[in-house]
C-alpha cells in the first residue's frame, strides 16, 4: 500500500491543531473534505488515528506513532521537490543556514570566491528549526548549536564559546563578575531543562514543586522580553547575549557551565561536490562569534 502524501499533510495539520476546523482553515479546504480524507487514511492504514468528542480531538497511540513518522517523511518529500526545482531553474544556488550570534560572512565570501558560478544565499535559523531546514531542503548546510538530533546528519565541529546567565537587571546576582550554577538553583529556567543539564541537576523546582509550564518562545527577542519582565532566567551563548544586549537584562558569566559547541551539519546521504567544498572550507576560515 502506498501512503498518499496529501493525506499525510492533512493528518499532520489536524494532529498539530487538534481541531478539525482550525486545521481546515490552515489547509484552505472545507472541513467536511478534511474529515473524509482523514477517514480514508484511517481506512487505508486500518487504524483509528483520532478520538473525537464534543470537547476535544485527541491522538490515539497509532496517531502519535504516525505523527512521529509523517513529519520526517513529508520533510524528505519537500526536500526532493526543492532540489529538483533548483536543478531545473538554474543557475546553481547554495544556501547556508546559521544560528543567532554566528557570523557566516567569512565562510560565505570564501566559498563564493571559489565558486563564482554559484549564487550563495543565507537563512537565519532558530533553536526550533536549525535541523528542520536541512531535512526539508531549505538549506544545503546549517551552522548549528548543539545539542541537536543528529540522526541522518553529518556533523563537523567548528568552534566553542562560553554560555552566560541572562538575568533581569535588578536581579540579586546582576552585576556579579562571575557566579556558580548553584547560585541559580531556585530560579525558573525559560528553556527545556535538558538543554542546561548543570541547572537541571540542582534545580529546586524540579526537585520539589515540579517545573512550571514553559511559554512558547520562538526568538531570542521573545526570550529576553520574558527575562526582563522577571518571568525567569535563560542561558545563552556569549555571542548571542552580546549581540542582543539590552539595558534591562544582565549577562553574567557562570563558572561551571559547559561551553556551547557550534558545528556544521548537512544531510549525511547527500553527495554534492559543492557541499563537501563548503564543509572543507568551513574548517579553514576563522569563525568569529558576533560581539
Render pLDDT for 14-28 as a digit per residue (tens, 0 to 9). 998 999 989 998 888
User: Within 115-159, where are the H helices?
Assistant: 132-135
Higher pLDDT, 116 or 74: 116
* Rama region for 70: left / alpha / beta (φ>0; ψ in -120 to 50; rest): alpha
CATH 3.30.70.330 for the 5-73 domain, yes or no: no
For the chain, the structural domain boundaries read: 5-73, 91-159+260-282, 163-253
- Nearest CA to 205 out of 190, 195, 220, 216 is that of 190
At 291 the pLDDT is 56
Q: What percent of the chain has pLDDT over 90?
A: 59
Q: What percent of the chain has pLDDT over 70?
A: 95
User: Within 90-219, where are the H helices?
Assistant: 105-114, 132-135, 197-200, 204-207
- Nearest CA to 276 out of 287, 288, 264 is that of 264
pLDDT band (50, 70, 90) for residue 290: low
Cβ-contact 20, 35 below 8 angstroms: yes
pLDDT band (50, 70, 90) for residue 289: low
Segment 105-133, tens digit of pLDDT:
999 999 999 999 998 999 999 988 899 89
At 272 the pLDDT is 85
pLDDT band (50, 70, 90) for residue 52: confident
Higher pLDDT, 166 or 89: 166
Rg of the chain, C-alpha, whole Å: 22
User: Within the chain, where are the H helices?
Assistant: 5-17, 20-27, 31-45, 61-89, 105-114, 132-135, 197-200, 204-207, 220-228, 238-243, 273-282
Cβ-contact 166, 236 below 8 angstroms: yes
CA dist 33 and 20 (Å) reads 10
Domain 163-253, architecture per CATH: 3-Layer(aba) Sandwich (3.40)
CA dist 106 and 143 (Å) reads 13
5-73 and 91-159+260-282 agree in CATH topology: no
For the domain with range 91-159+260-282, which CATH number is right: 3.30.43.10, 3.40.190.10, 3.40.50.2020, 3.30.1280.10?
Answer: 3.40.190.10
In this structure, the dihedral spanned by the alpha carbons of residues 118, 120, 121 and 125, taken in order and rounded to 10 degrees, is 120
CA dist 82 and 21 (Å) reads 30
Mean pLDDT of the region 169-195: 94
Phi, psi (5° rounding) for residue 24?
Answer: -65, -40
Q: Is the pLDDT of residue 221 over 80?
A: yes
Cα 198 → chain centroid: 21
Q: Is the pLDDT of residue 239 over 90?
A: yes
Higher pLDDT, 1 or 273: 273
Amino acid at each position: 500500500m502506498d501512503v498518499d502524501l496529501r493525506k499525510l499533510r492533512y493528518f499532520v495539520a489536524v494532529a498539530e491543531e487538534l481541531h478539525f476546523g482550525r486545521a481546515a482553515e490552515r489547509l484552505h479546504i472545507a472541513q467536511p473534505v478534511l474529515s473524509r480524507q482523514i477517514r480514508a487514511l484511517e481506512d487505508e492504514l486500518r487504524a483509528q488515528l483520532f478520538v473525537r468528542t464534543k470537547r476535544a480531538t485527541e491522538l490515539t497511540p497509532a496517531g502519535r506513532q504516525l505523527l512521529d513518522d509523517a513529519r520526517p517523511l513529508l520533510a524528505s518529500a519537500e526536500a526532493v521537490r526543492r532540489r529538483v526545482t533548483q536543478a531545473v531553474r538554474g543557475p546553481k544556488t547554495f544556501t547556508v543556514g546559521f544560528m543567532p550570534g554566528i557570523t557566516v560572512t567569512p565562510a560565505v565570501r570564501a566559498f563564493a570566491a571559489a565558486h563564482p558560478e554559484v549564487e550563495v544565499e543565507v537563512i537565519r535559523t532558530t533553536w526550533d528549526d536549525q535541523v528542520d531546514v536541512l531535512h526539508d531542503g531549505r538549506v544545503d548546510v546549517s551552522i548549528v548549536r548543539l545539542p541537536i538530533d543528529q540522526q541522518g546528519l553529518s556533523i563537523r565541529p567548528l568552534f566553542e564559546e562560553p554560555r552566560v546567565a541572562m538575568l533581569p537587571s535588578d536581579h540579586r546576582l546582576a552585576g556579579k563578575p562571575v557566579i556558580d550554577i548553584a547560585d541559580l538553583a531556585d530560579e525558573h529556567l525559560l528553556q527545556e531543562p535538558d538543554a542546561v543539564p548543570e541547572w537541571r541537576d540542582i534545580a529546586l523546582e524540579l526537585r520539589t514543586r515540579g517545573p512550571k509550564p514553559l511559554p512558547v518562545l520562538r526568538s531570542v527577542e521573545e526570550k529576553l522580553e520574558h527575562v526582563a519582565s522577571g518571568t525567569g532566567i535563560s542561558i545563552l551563548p556569549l555571542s548571542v547575549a552580546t549581540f542582543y544586549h539590552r539595558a534591562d537584562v544582565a549577562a553574567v558569566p557562570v563558572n561551571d557551565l559547559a561551553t556551547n559547541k557550534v558545528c556544521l551539519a548537512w544531510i549525511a546521504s547527500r553527495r554534492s561536490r559543492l557541499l563537501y567544498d563548503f564543509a572543507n572550507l568551513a574548517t579553514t576560515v576563522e569563525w568569529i562569534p558576533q560581539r
